[in-house]
Structures are given as structure tokens and as C-alpha cells.
């Protein structure tokens, strides 16, 4: 279903989706339960754009049946627009250098992908070795495990802010990155790809790092996450829906409900 965005401008609907724990099952990374809604979207010419913490290298490797011309990776820090890639915020080397300069009481609580071997990435993510190599091929963000206190995390966020970096929490990892987000990446795509009348926007996600994205669109879908971490959407622009199931089953059910409401037929 590799539909072009330009072709779907007349259809008036676009879907932005998180992957892990949302379109992809948290444990198996399968998406079979999402296929009925995905096929319905494809037949209606509605693009489904991945908006994920994964890298562009991982997305290329996975070859998911989603839009491949337009992709948002590394929590919004890397945006593919056709053959071009836009980096929001800081480059990866700047981020890892910032971590290296942290006070030891904070540095000792961070275990990032830069610190991990491929085997450790496999252990903590369940990825294959090939996928883990792609996950370590980063452009603009660093996922990390955190073993410090809440107070120490606030100290880390303060130091990051002084370096024009930010920290967001995903389903498995924290992420250190520039001062952008999935929301700002979606905003950039809508402004640079959709010209004229904006489409009806739908977004789905399961983590706190998806909250801004969900509040920015017309229909924001909260997918229940495996950890039970609440996803709080403040002052949403549109309608917020909680899916009835976790993972791709919830993705499928919620999208059918929204498409029925929008009277999207095939």
C-alpha cells in the first residue's frame, strides 16, 4: 500500500502511527491483527505514515506495508521526505558528546545504545542482530535505560535543556534528543507536503512520547501499553479515543471506528 501523499490529498485523510506497542505487537513485533484496517485504508487511498522512535535504517530493513516516501524516525528528529532527510535538532555525535560530559553521578545511571554492544541491544529490545545493528545506526537521538532517581532525572533534564536537548519517555527507553518531537515533525510534513486544504489527521500511539502528537491531530488514539504507563494528552486539538485493546488489535478496532465515523468507504 505504498500510496503517495500527493495522490491522497483529494481523499482528505492521513494517518500517523507509532510502531512498537501500537502498530507492532509489544512482544512479537507482528502486525497481522492490524491488517483489516490497513487494507481498508489502502483501498481508500489513505496514507499511513510511521512516526516512531526507530531509525530510518530500521524502517528500511523492516519493509513494513506503510508509506515509504514519508517517514518520521527517532521520535521526530529524522524526517524522510522522498529522497531527502531532514534532521531536527542536534546530530547524534553532539548528543553522545553531551552524555560523555555529564557529572559522573548522572552518567553512571545512563546505559544508552552507544554504550551497548549489539548483543545487549538484542537482549533489551528483542530485536534480531541485523535489526539491532540498524537500531544503532542513529542520526539524531539516543535511547537509554535509566537507573537513577526522579530527582536525578530532573537534574539531567535541566542539564540537557542548557545544551538545547530534551528527554522524552517511550515504551521501553528514555530518549535524549534535540528540542523537537513527533508533533513538530508531523507539523513540518503537513506544512511542506500538504499544500492547500489540510487533511483530516489521525494519529495512534501508546507511550508518553506520543501524547503531544495525539493532541495535535483531529483524532488521537491512545493504545493501551504493556507497562500500564498512563498517556496524558493535555488540551487536545481534536478528539481523543482510547482503543479497546493493546497493540495492533486495538489499532485495527480504533481505526475502523474512526473510518466509519468519517464515512470512508472503499
- Return all residues near 159 (Cβ < 8 A) that are at least 6 apart: 102, 106
Distance CA 143, CA 137 (A): 12
**Rounded-to-5 percentages of helix, strand, coil across the chain:** 40, 20, 40
Using DSSP, state whether 222 is helix, strand or coil: strand
Distance CA 52, CA 175 (A): 12
In this structure, are residues 220 and 34 in contact, taking their beta carbons and an 8 Å threshold? no
Ranges assigned E (strand) in the chain: 13-17, 48-50, 70-73, 78-81, 84-87, 110-112, 141-146, 165-169, 174-178, 200-205, 219-222, 239-242
Identified catalytic residue from 18, 25, 67, 210: 18
Angle at 210 between CA 14 and CA 8, to 5 degrees: 5
- Return all residues near 155 (Cβ < 8 A) that are at least 6 apart: 106
- Return all residues near 137 (Cβ < 8 A) that are at least 6 apart: 55, 57, 58
* 20 assigned to active site: no
C-alpha cell at 63: 519493509
Residues marked active site are found at 18
Amino acid at each position: 500500500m505504498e500510496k503517495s501523499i500527493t495522490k491522497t490529498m483529494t481523499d482528505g485523510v492521513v494517518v500517523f502511527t507509532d510502531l512498537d506497542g501500537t502498530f507492532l505487537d509489544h512482544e512479537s513485533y507482528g502486525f497481522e491483527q492490524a491488517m483489516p484496517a490497513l487494507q481498508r485504508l489502502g483501498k481508500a487511498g489513505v496514507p499511513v505514515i510511521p512516526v516512531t522512535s526507530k531509525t530510518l535504517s530500521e524502517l528500511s530493513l523492516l519493509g513494513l506495508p506503510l508509506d515509504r516516501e514519508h517517514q518520521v524516525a527517532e521520535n521526530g528528529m529524522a524526517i524522510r521526505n522522498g529522497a531527502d532527510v531532514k534532521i531536527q535538532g542536534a546530530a547524534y555525535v553532539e548528543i553522545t558528546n553531551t552524555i560523555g560530559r555529564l557529572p559522573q553521578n548522572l552518567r553512571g545511571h545512563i546505559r544508552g545504545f552507544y554504550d551497548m554492544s549489539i548483543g545487549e541491544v538484542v537482549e533489551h529490545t528483542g530485536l534480531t542482530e541485523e535489526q539491532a545493528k540498524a537500531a544503532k545506526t542513529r542520526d539524531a537521538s539516543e535511547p537509554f535505560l535509566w537507573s537513577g532517581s526522579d530527582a536525578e532525572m530532573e537534574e539531567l533534564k535541566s542539564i540537557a535543556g542548557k545544551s538545547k536537548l530534551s528527554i522524552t519517555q517511550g515504551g521501553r527507553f528514555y530518549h535524549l534528543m534535540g528540542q523537537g518531537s513527533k508533533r513538530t515533525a508531523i507539523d513540518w510534513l503537513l506544512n511542506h507536503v500538504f499544500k492547500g486544504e489540510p487533511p483530516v489527521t489521525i494519529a495512534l500511539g501508546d507511550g508518553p512520547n506520543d501524547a503531544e502528537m495525539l493532541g495535535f491531530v483531529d483524532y488521537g488514539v491512545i493504545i493501551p501499553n504493556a507497562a500500564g504507563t498512563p498517556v496524558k494528552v493535555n488540551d487536545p486539538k481534536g478528539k481523543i479515543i482510547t482503543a479497546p485493546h493493546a497493540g495492533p488489535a486495538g489499532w485495527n478496532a480504533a481505526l475502523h471506528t474512526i473510518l466509519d465515523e468519517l464515512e470512508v468507504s472503499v
